[in-house]
Amino acid sequence: MRALLIVFVKEFLENLRDRRTLVSALLFGPLFGPLLFGAMVSRMLNQSMVESDEPLHLTVAGADHAPGLIRYLESQDVKLVFAALSEGDARTAVQSGREQVILIVPVDYAARFTAALPAPLLLVADSADSQTRKVADRARQLLTAYGSGIAQLRLQVRGVSPLLAVPVAVNDIDVATPTGRAVVVLGFMTYFVLFAMLMGGLYLAIDSTAGERERGSLEALLSLPVARGSLVGGKILATCAYMCASLAISLTAFVCVFRFVPLERLGMSANLGVGTALEFFAICVPFVPLGAALMAFVASFTRSYREAQTYLTSVLLVPTLPIAFASIYSLKTRSSLMFIPSLSQHLLMTSVLKDEPIAAADVLVSAGSSLCIAMMLFVMTAKHWRREVMLG
């Protein structure tokens, strides 16, 4: 136990003195996620708000053939621009991006409209462009609404109840709570948190195992009267310390960033204050020894710093798999899933965000299973360190 502490202090101190490593582990790793995320979300929100508030701009060719339609569109606050364009001209204008969406009223529109036959309208848009697609959708909605208005009038004139033409009435009931909607947006966050946490210990995990071997200090260390378990334990513990630090920094950064993201303006409340951050920390902390032991285990099998880096980069992706799985199958917090590390942390954090009640048993199972696997990895690493191949 004493040896373990000595190793811990030495590894902690040595890593602390490596400024470049420290900056990358404790600043770039934990801050990159929240900043990128905050910027992304606020841009997304601003954009969607601007779009729904702005009046629709529409270029119309052949407006003379449909005065009734034009009056309707103007009454709906659509900003119309009239142009004399053939169908071919309109296609080129949209394709080249000069115009977003063009509505063409063909010559035979008036005649067919008067004869109560389907009157053609052409809507030229580029559906591959997500911006103009939204404009086209709004235009199409307005045109459909105009059409059904006319249809009802025609039925009434002929003495038929317009209700006959409406056999079913679909009403959307959206059960998403404001927080629930925010969760869709914030779901990604849990991965950033786990990633930053692993990044915090990555360098130390490599340096204290593969690095120790590469710089040739390992053999002297192994010839000391110290149990290999104490050496490995001290190294993993030091890795844990840095992972906890970067976890704390990353959560603090998230709390700060979400102060400035206008989620409330969309009727969402991102439930992320100091209290939530503390709950997140408590949920994630059991994953720390697991991550540290996993990185130490993998790095112990590699021969050089470079090789360890290559392998550990893949290890960093491991916690994403259950999270990706969870979003594909839209898994909800369930006791049977609490045995799976990273997934259980992800689900619990999501529940906290949604303000859902959390069972204490779930938290304990999540923590317990993560710690058990961490212990297994530690024992396996220590066993590997007792083997002669460690000398290289």
Partner 1 sequence: MIEARALSKRFGALDAVTQATFTARDGQITGLLGPNGAGKSTCLRMLYGVLAPDSGSACIDGIDIRGETSAARAHLGVLPHAAGLYNNLTARENITYFGSLHGMHPERLRERTAGLARSLGMESFLERRVKGFSQGQRIKVALARALVHDPKNLILDEPTNGLDVMAIRNLREILLALRDQGRCILFSSHVMQEVAALCDRVVIIGRGRVLADDTPQSIREGSSAATLEEAFLRVLGDTEGVG
Q: What's the CA gap between 318 and 36, in Å, rounded?
A: 21
Q: Which residues of 188-220 are buried (b: 16+ CB within 10 A; e: fewer)?
A: bbbbbbbbbbbbbbbbbbbbbbbbbbbeeebee
Facing residues of 362 across strands?
none
Binds partner 1 (CB under 8 A): choice among 96, 223, 314, 330: 223
Instruction: Name, in order, each residue with C-beta under 8 angstroms of 274's C-beta and a sequence gap of 6 or more.
Output: 255
- The nearer residue to partner 1, 3 or 324, going by C-beta atoms, is 3
Q: What φ, ψ does residue 53 adopt, rounded to 5°?
A: -85, -30
Contact range with partner 1 by CB under 8 A, out of 1-9, 73-81, 183-191, 302-310: 1-9
Contact range with partner 1 by CB under 8 A, out of 3-11, 176-184, 185-193, 346-354: 3-11
Binds partner 1 (CB under 8 A): choice among 92, 217, 313, 335: 217
Q: Which of residues 11-30 bind partner 1 (CB under 8 A)?
A: 13-14, 17-18
Complete edge-to-edge strand list for the sheet that includes strand 122-124? 79-83, 57-61, 102-104, 122-124
Q: What's the CA gap between 326 and 328, in Å, rounded?
A: 6
- The nearer residue to partner 1, 8 or 254, going by C-beta atoms, is 8
Work out how close the CB of 268 gets to partner 1 at its nearest, in angstroms, rounded to a whole number: 47
- The nearer residue to partner 1, 126 or 307, going by C-beta atoms, is 307
Binds partner 1 (CB under 8 A): choice among 71, 154, 215, 383: 215
Query: How far is C-alpha 230 from the geometric centre of its chain's CA atoms?
Result: 39
Binds partner 1 (CB under 8 A): choice among 116, 224, 321, 375: 224
- The nearer residue to partner 1, 137 or 219, going by C-beta atoms, is 219
Q: What's the CA gap between 8 and 16, in Å, rounded?
A: 12
Binds partner 1 (CB under 8 A): choice among 155, 222, 318, 379: 222
Work out how close the CB of 225 gets to partner 1 at its nearest, in angstroms, rounded to a whole number: 4
Q: What's the CA gap between 110 and 116, in Å, rounded?
A: 10
Give the Cβ contact number of residue 385 at 10 Å: 19
Contact range with partner 1 by CB under 8 A, out of 7-15, 150-158, 235-243, 251-259: 7-15
Residues that bind partner 1 (CB under 8 A): 2-3, 6-7, 10, 13-14, 17-18, 215-226, 388, 391
